[in-house]
Amino acid sequence: MDNADVAFAGIADQAGMLRDRVISSTELTELYLGRIRSIDPSLNAFADVFADEAKASAVEADRRIAAGESAPLLGVPIAIKDELDIAGQVARHGTVAYETPADADSEHVRRLRAAGGIVIGKTRLPELAITGFTESEFNGDTRNPWDVIRTPGGSSGGSAAAVAAGLVGAASASDGAGSIRIPAANCGLFGLKPQRGRISFMPEREHWYGLSKTGCLTRKVIDTALWLDVAAGPAPGDVHTPPPPDGTYVDAARRDPGRLRVAFSTSPVRALAPPIVDPVVVSVVHDVASVLEGSGHSVTEQTPDYGSVGNEIAPIYLRGIRQHYEQVPHPERLEPRTRGFARLGGLVPDRFLYGALRRMPEHEARINRIFEDVDVLITPVTGEPPVPVGKWAGQGAVRTAIGMSRSYPFTVVWNYTGQPAASIPAGLTEDGLPLGVMLIVAPNREELLLSVAAQLEGALAWPDRTPPIG
């Protein structure tokens, strides 16, 4: 196995290689540090690289492995989106408005480290994780390894670019309106937005009034399953505590899903402006539906009853941004567009916010009625292929919000309902740009989603595709 094969192997296979002494943690860590040095200047995926700390942790991991110790991620390098607390480091949230190092790891990071993961660095995001692209006046633009004039998406754009280019095997990500799934679609990755509360945000009890979920970006389904097995579960103080799964997520990813009832739809939720739905996006949804039908599943076209749910999302999204803005120690350092989003959030009355939150169960019940008749729903992830870097450069908050709602009209509804949804790679455009398709399941059914996604991975063989930069 050559260095590129190792770099793109994914964390599950890498953990096995380390256990079997095929490679040492020191060698694996040095491999990634070398790739980051040579490739990341073209991508700007990393905000920080902890070379010395990672190498020291790798030496310790090798000692533990030699002593017969075992842990799910022992000696495996991972990256963390620069929004989670890492002890002794400043969680900058994509800004220069923070300067105080964290006293302790966030719960998510603590669990990854407890499983033996080595934090090799922090990945970039847009300010306060607001936008579906990863661009910054202060930190520069993060670029897509499939085509550097294109965005990797956002807000987990740094994590997506790093994993897609083989700079790390997996990276943490979060999703408040599509910020795991959009970068996954743009970069040819698997990106699962878990059930609300599945992975703890502590020391935050929740984020954006429950719209946000935290998870990871990976190349393979089994890698996300392993990450979930390590990181999932409630922590004291969590607002949302979903029931645990039956068995492990890794077992679910290895299990045949059985014969399923599948629906597909290319109709978006009503947005702030007419949505963009490119024919190539419609085409790959039909392609994936055909693959599932060919695998023995029952497939029909059916659209959920979205109703007026679009009206409920904007108040929560904008007030969530405002809530985060009010916690920023130096808001005067934020970019004008970020402050514009915060001003918009300040204009949303309490009655609009709490009305939208109060009506959540009603909308969830109506939309999820589709899962009385089907097991899995397929839709597009984005309305168009990856857009150019700078598409919204120089635009204010209102024009940016309207533009994003047109390009990304499919994802945020499932943040409002809170249930699992994932982007799977579904092929390339004629120009070689990745396209994704979204799989949605009923609440708390990550195991089913992982199982059917793994079946599609076998049929579509997306891990075999790597970008030109990588």
Residue 1 has pLDDT above 80, yes or no: no
The SS3 call for residue 214 is strand
Compute the average pLDDT of residues 137-152: 97
Is the predicted pLDDT of residue 272 greater than 80, yes or no? no
pLDDT band of residue 271 (cuts 50, 70, 90) is: low
Is 173 part of a structural domain of the chain? yes
Instruction: Specify if 281 maps to a domain.
Output: yes
Q: Which residue from 168, 191, 188 is spatially nearest to 178, judged by alpha carbons?
A: 191
193 catalytic? Reply is no
Which one of 57, 136, 179, 200 is the catalytic residue?
A: 179
Euclidean distance between CA atoms 133 and 154, whole angstroms: 4
pLDDT cut 70: percent of the chain above it = 100
Q: How confident is the model at residue 273 (pLDDT cuts 50, 70, 90)?
A: confident
Q: Is the pLDDT of residue 440 over 80?
A: yes
Q: What's the chain's average pLDDT? A: 97
Is 232 among the domain residues? yes
The pLDDT-based confidence of 270 (bands split at 50, 70, 90) is: confident
Say whether pLDDT at 63 is over 70.
yes
Instruction: Note the pLDDT of residue 75.
Output: 98
Q: What is the DSSP string of 127-175?
A: GGG-SSS-EETTTEE--BTTBTTB---SSSHHHHHHHHTTS-SEEEEEE
Average pLDDT for 249-277:
94
**pLDDT band for position 228 (cuts 50, 70, 90):** very high
Q: What is the pLDDT of residues 442-457, one digit of tens each?
A: 999 999 999 999 999 9
For range 155-180, the mean pLDDT = 98
Give the total number of structural domains in the chain: 1
Q: Which residues pair with 239 in a beta bridge?
A: none
Mean pLDDT of 206-212: 97
Rounded average pLDDT over 55-59? 98
253: CATH: 3.90.1300.10
Q: Which residue has the tokens 């943040």?
A: 415
Over range 364-382, report the average pLDDT. Answer: 98
User: Confidence band (pLDDT; 50, 70, 90) for 215?
Assistant: very high
**Other Cβ atoms closer than 10 A to 88:** 12
Whether 469 is in a domain gets the answer no
To the nearest 10°, report the CA torsion of 175, 181, 182, 188: 140
Say if CB 408 and CB 178 are below 8 A apart. Answer: yes
**Does 470 fall in a domain?**
no
* Structural domain includes residue 270: yes
How far is 339 from 332, CA to CA, in rounded Å?
A: 8
- Is residue 400, in this structure, part of any structural domain at all? yes
pLDDT at site 350: 97
Q: Is 122 a catalytic residue?
A: no
Write down the catalytic residue from 24, 25, 57, 81: 81
Catalytic site includes residue 212: no
Confidence of residue 470 (pLDDT cuts 50, 70, 90): confident
Please report whether residue 44 resides in a domain.
yes
In the structure, what pLDDT confidence band is assigned to residue 296 with cuts at 50, 70 and 90?
A: very high
Domain that residue 180 falls in? 3-464
Q: Which amino acid is at 262?
A: V
The neighbouring-strand residues paired with 342 are none
Catalytic residue (one of 155, 172, 295, 405): 155
The verdict on whether omega for the bond into residue 203 sits within 30 degrees of 0, i.e. cis, is yes
Look at residues 76, 92, 79 and name the one whose alpha carbon lies nearest to residue 25: 76
Q: 131 phi and psi, to 5 degrees?
A: -105, 160
